[in-house]
């Protein structure tokens, strides 16, 4: 992945062990202890996937402050999907038959003190550039909701059930010990409340034609619920595909 600058924000690949530690620290702040930057100064969010993934930093071009990060895992086809982080939590047997190249997006986060939507746009510009360069046909990962009380997200889950469940041939099956099967919800969603409750990354996936699993996995350690999310590149509406490539240029 090449470095790119989008206005104030610089997106670049991690190059050193210090870069990786900075990303792991930001992940800990976002996923494990939101808002607790002063506490446990050496705490990191790290796992075995870090050694096999590419790591990407989003920095303030003026100060060098790290405002966001994510990691990428390139797979040659669905035959390799059991190597992914997502496969630890979902039964992805259907996707083993996916014929094309794939990219898993993981641990995406933005510093809680920064809400500039251009940070997300800069991240998607870098993602579009990487997907094109890799010749990927599927972008996938886990999209997280804060908290493990499903009732707080019922409108969002009801909308996912109504409009965005994965095609049957790719549908992830249950593997994790604790899940919320939102496909069984009977209520109709309030569209405004549902979209307001969607995590920004997931909202972007859906606007481009993405789909999700029919259940959410409870992650008690991180205090989140996540859904498997997939985006087939050929399904992105042409107008949005052109806009993404324009961002990346």
Question: What span, in angstroms and rounded, lies between the C-alpha atoms of 222 and 46?
Answer: 12
Question: What span, in angstroms and rounded, lies between the C-alpha atoms of 37 and 94?
Answer: 41
Residue 101: inside a domain: yes
- Domain containing residue 208: CATH number: 3.40.630
What's residue 230's pLDDT? Answer: 98
Question: What span, in angstroms and rounded, lies between the C-alpha atoms of 59 and 10?
Answer: 5
Instruction: Count CB neighbours of 3 within 10 A.
Output: 12
Residues linked to residue 69 through DSSP beta bridges, in sequence order? 57, 109
Residue 57: inside a domain: no
Question: What span, in angstroms and rounded, lies between the C-alpha atoms of 188 and 197?
Answer: 15
SS (H, E, C) the chain: CCCEEECCEEEEECCCHHHHHHHHHHHHHHHHCCCCCCCCCCCCCCCHHHHHCEEEEEEECCCCCEEEEEEEEEECCHHHHHHCCHHHCEECCHHHHCCCCEEEEEEEEECCCCCCHHHHHHHHHHHHHHHHHHCCCEEEEEEEEECCCHHHHHHHHHHHHHHCECCCCCCCEECCCCEECHHHCCCCCCHHHHHHHCCHHHHHHHHCCCEECCCEEEECCCCEEEEEEEEEHHHCCHHHHHHHHHHHC
Residue 43: inside a domain: no
Contact 110, 120 (CB under 8 A): yes
Domain with 185 in it:
69-248
Instruction: Count CB neighbours of 143 within 10 A.
Output: 27
Residues linked to residue 103 through DSSP beta bridges, in sequence order? 74, 139
Task: State pTM to two decimals.
Answer: 0.94
Question: What span, in angstroms and rounded, lies between the C-alpha atoms of 58 and 12?
Answer: 7
Based on its alpha-carbon atoms, the radius of gyration of the chain, rounded to whole angstroms, reads 17
Cα of first residue to Cα of last residue in the chain, in angstroms, is: 13
| Model pLDDT for residues 203-244, shown as the tens digit of each residue | 999 999 999 999 999 998 888 999 999 999 999 999 988 888
Q: How many domains does the chain have?
A: 1
pLDDT at 1 over 80: no
Residue 201: inside a domain: yes
Report the Cα 21 to chain-centroid distance in Å: 20
| Model pLDDT for residues 57-83, shown as the tens digit of each residue | 999 999 999 999 999 999 999 999 999
Query: What is the pLDDT of the chain when averaged over all its residues?
Result: 92
What's residue 40's pLDDT? Answer: 64
Report the pLDDT averaged over residues 130-147: 95
Residue 25: inside a domain: no
Closest by Cα among 138, 130, 209, 145 to 182? 145
Residue 80: inside a domain: yes
Q: Give me the percent of the chain exceeding a pLDDT of 90.
A: 78
Residue 221: inside a domain: yes
What's residue 33's pLDDT? Answer: 59
| Model pLDDT for residues 148-189, shown as the tens digit of each residue | 999 999 999 999 999 999 999 999 999 999 999 999 998 899
Residue 28: inside a domain: no
| Model pLDDT for residues 24-62, shown as the tens digit of each residue | 999 998 887 554 454 566 789 999 999 999 999 999 999
* Location of structure tokens 């924000």: 9
Which range among 92-96, 113-117, 224-228 shows the weakest confidence by mean pLDDT? 113-117
């Amino acid at each position: 992945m090449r470095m790119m600058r989008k206005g104030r924000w610089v997106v670049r690949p991690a190059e050193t062990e210090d870069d990786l530690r900075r990303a792991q620290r930001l992940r800990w702040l976002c996923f494990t202890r939101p808002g607790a930057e002063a506490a446990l100064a050496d705490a990191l969010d790290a796992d075995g996937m870090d050694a096999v993934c590419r790591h990407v930093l989003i920095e303030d071009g003026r100060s060098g402050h790290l405002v966001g990060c994510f990691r990428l895992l390139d797979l040659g086809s669905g035959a390799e999907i059991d190597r992914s982080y997502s496969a630890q939590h979902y039964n992805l047997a259907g996707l083993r038959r996916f014929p094309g190249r794939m990219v898993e997006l993981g641990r995406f986060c933005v510093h809680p003190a920064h809400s500039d939507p251009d940070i997300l746009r800069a991240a998607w510009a870098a993602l579009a550039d990487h997907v094109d360069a890799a010749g990927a046909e599927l972008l996938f990962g886990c999209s997280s909701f804060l908290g493990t009380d499903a009732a707080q997200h019922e409108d969002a889950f009801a909308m996912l059930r109504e409009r965005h469940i994965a095609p049957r041939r790719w549908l992830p099956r249950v593997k994790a010990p604790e899940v919320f099967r939102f496909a069984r919800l009977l209520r109709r969603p309030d569209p405004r409340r549902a979209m307001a409750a969607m995590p920004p990354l997931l909202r972007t996936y859906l606007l481009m034609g993405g789909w999700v699993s029919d259940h959410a996995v409870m992650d008690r350690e991180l205090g989140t619920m996540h859904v498997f999310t997939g985006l087939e590149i050929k399904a992105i509406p042409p107008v949005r595909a052109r806009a993404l490539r324009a961002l990346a240029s």
